[in-house]
Structure 1
Amino acid sequence: MHALIVVSHPLDTSLTHGVAASIAEGITAADPANTFEIADLTQEGFDPTYSGADIAGFLKTATVPEDILAEQARIDGADALVLVFPIYWWSMPALLKGWIDRVFSNGWAYEETAEGAVVKKLGHLPVHIIGLGAGGKSLYDRHGYTDAFNAQIAHGIFDYCGAPVVTNEMLLMPELGEPKACFDAARNIGRSVFQPAYAE
């Protein structure tokens, strides 16, 4: 089984990158035959700008850009997609949002029919969402962010495409207390990434 772990943080020494590495450790600890690829969007220089070429791809007046075809091929080659990111202004970083805007395109992630119906095309892709936050759970709950996180990301993006969200986790430092606890939680998430497949 192969996981694509997509990371959005400008510093490779960040807690976010440490969590991604810990998830990868958990994936291989669960089964040494498991593999993973970490896609560091900053290091790879991914362009998040939704351009005229992307619009043409959406309208199906042209093929989607080559860089997006390459990203889609990486996802197609994975048995699970894992997103790891810091929570910025109650949402994901702009770089990761731009990756989703461009990569999850009409015709690949979903299909808009002439009658206005939506065909969900990613039912085969389990998704694991891991956001890192500095605020506590009570703060997120009190301001409605927990519900907003679920509505915007889990439902608004992945349910729209039919991709089942297996993990939807916010690792919040006030509860975890220290980076080690965050890494331990991430390893546990990694160990469970392919657990449903093993259970079958």
Structure 2
Amino acid sequence: MHALVVVAHPDPNSLTHAVTARLAEGVSGSGHSSEIADLMAEGFDPRFSANDHAVHLKQAAPSADVLAEQARIDRADALVLVYPVYWWSMPGLLKGWIDRVFANGWAYDEIPGGKLEKKLGRLPVHLVALGGAGQGTYERHGYFNAMKTQIDHGIFDFCGARIVTSEFLLPPDTQDLSGYLETASAIGGKLFQAAEQVEAA
């Protein structure tokens, strides 16, 4: 099986990229394949253009870069997003990728009469967010629930995609960051475990 791992961070030497690489290694180590989509390195344009708006209204065809991203997702058996938490959400680059790629008619279909067809029911999604604040801050201010409502439910459930992993990697009590990488490797290693169990049954 094949995973598309999308990462949004400007620094290729960042912990976010290290976590991404270790997660992909975990996927490979379990006998599956992965592709890393580095949105910054690839120069993806996150700006929602007039053409994107026309696509939303079903008055135009998606641009070539959006079609290419949709094709990558269509080829994948799982989608993984790895990103730093910026202002208690995902970076603008990743949000713009979702704004443009998860388009009306592809990720969901707004049907006249107010009905909605969710079109990504086949797609398991794994979210790995790296935060700069500690557990107490997230709990005290309700950021865990706010982010899950906004991202897990507001984006992916709207399209019918099933959230399998929604992991927050927060700063440890020590300077030892190896736990981040171990967690990433474990997530990658277990990415297709449920599907394998179904096939074996």
User: Normalising to structure 2: TM-score of the pair?
Assistant: 0.96
Structure 1 contact 134–174 (Cα < 8 Å) conserved = no
- For residue 188 of structure 2, give the secondary structure of its aligned residue in structure 1: helix
Query: 4+ runs of 1 displaced by more than 6 Å?
Result: none
Within a 5 Å distance, the mapping from 1:68-79 to structure 2 comes to 68-79=66-77
Structure 1 contact 82–130 (Cα < 8 Å) conserved = yes
Distance 1:144 1:177 in 2: 26
**How high is the sequence identity, in percent, across the aligned residues?**
57
Which residue number in structure 1 is paired with residue 29 of structure 2? Answer: 29
Which residue number in structure 1 is paired with residue 89 of structure 2? Answer: 91
Amino acid at match of 2:130: L
Superposed CA RMSD in Å reads: 1.0
Amino acid at match of 2:9: H
Give the Å deviation of 1:24.
0.5
Give the Å deviation of 1:116.
1.0
Distance 1:7 1:63 in 2: 26
Distance 1:82 1:167, change over 3 A: same
Give the Å deviation of 1:179.
2.1
Name which of 116, 127, 133 aligns with 2:125.
Answer: 127
Distance 2:115 2:167 in 1: 31
Provide Cα deviations, 1:89-117, integer angstroms capped at 9, x if missing partner: 11100000000000000000000000111
Amino acid at match of 1:81: L
Provide Cα deviations, 1:25-58, integer angstroms capped at 9, x if missing partner: 1111122xx1100000000000000000001111
Q: Which deviates the most, 159-168 or 170-179? A: 170-179
Which residue number in structure 1 is paired with residue 148 of structure 2? Answer: 150
Name which of 35, 60, 63 aligns with 1:62.
Answer: 60
Provide Cα deviations, 1:144-191, integer angstroms capped at 9, x if missing partner: 100011100000000000000000000111357522111011001111
Which residue number in structure 2 is paired with residue 38 of structure 1? Answer: 36
Structure 1 contact 9–42 (Cα < 8 Å) conserved = yes
Name which of 94, 102, 106 aligns with 2:104.
Answer: 106
Provide Cα deviations, 1:75-94, integer angstroms capped at 9, x if missing partner: 00000000000001111000
Structure 1 contact 176–182 (Cα < 8 Å) conserved = no
- For residue 54 of structure 1, give the secondary structure of its aligned residue in structure 2: helix
User: Normalising to structure 1: TM-score of the pair?
Assistant: 0.97
Amino acid at match of 1:8: A
Unaligned runs of 5+ in 2: none
Distance 1:165 1:175 in 2: 28
Amino acid at match of 1:92: M
Report the number of matched residues.
198
Distance 1:191 1:175, change over 3 A: farther
Which residue number in structure 1 is paired with residue 2 of structure 2? Answer: 2
Q: Which deviates the most, 82-91 or 172-181? A: 172-181
